[in-house]
Amino acid sequence: MISLTVNDRPVTVAAEPDTPLLWVLREHLGLTGTKYGCGVAACGACTVHLDGAAVRACALPASEAAGRAVTTIEGLPGGAQNPLVRAWVAVEAPQCGYCQTGQIMQAATLLARTPQPSRAEILAHMDGNLCRCASYNQIVEAIQQAARGA
């Protein structure tokens, strides 16, 4: 049994300690906003927050999240009214949309640490979150718009 807090809710799941956090979230808890992309922490589709830091849930054993706070896209403050989510929609960042939850979760950690990031800071922070549709310019624009509070 693994006990952790997911989206501000304490949960206990019956999972092997080496089960990737991604599968605990998706299969045990039904939180399917976090996506499976590569399985080796290389694409960022599975990005969630662990104690406020962006991590790749596909490669993180659930046992490492025990006793800690996990936030998924479903628990992002404000939900659809979150400034990042609103900006994503406004600039039409999603193409296929598959990577977007991971992109938003990665961007949220940047804005929490650096409320007014430069373009260079955005690019550096988002490096490693891949978008196969190549909507990178829209992603940067959405982050800039969210930072402006527009």
Banded model confidence at residue 150, pLDDT cuts 50, 70, 90 = low
SS3 11: strand
Q: For 9-31, what is each residue's pLDDT tens digit?
A: 999 999 999 999 999 999 999 99
Name which CATH class applies to 79-148: mainly alpha
Going by the DSSP 8-state scheme, the letter that residue 137 receives in this structure is: H
Task: Quote the Cα angle for 144-53-34, to 5°.
Answer: 80
CA 66, CA 108: separation in Å to the nearest integer? Answer: 23
pLDDT in tens, 76-120: 999 999 999 999 999 999 888 889 999 999 999 999 999 999 999
Give me the half-sphere count of Cα atoms (radius 13 Å) on the Cβ side of residue 27: 13
Confidence category of residue 149, pLDDT binned at 50, 70, 90? confident
Lowest-pLDDT range, 72-76, 113-117, 132-136, 144-148?
Answer: 132-136
In the chain, which segments carry CATH 3.10.20.30? Answer: 2-75
Please write the tens of the pLDDT for every residue from 38-54. 999 999 999 999 999 99
Any idea which fold 2-75 has?
Ubiquitin-like (UB roll) (3.10.20)
Q: What is the DSSP letter of 78?
A: T
Where are the CATH 1.10.150.120 domain residues in the chain? 79-148
pLDDT at residue 74 is higher than 90:
yes
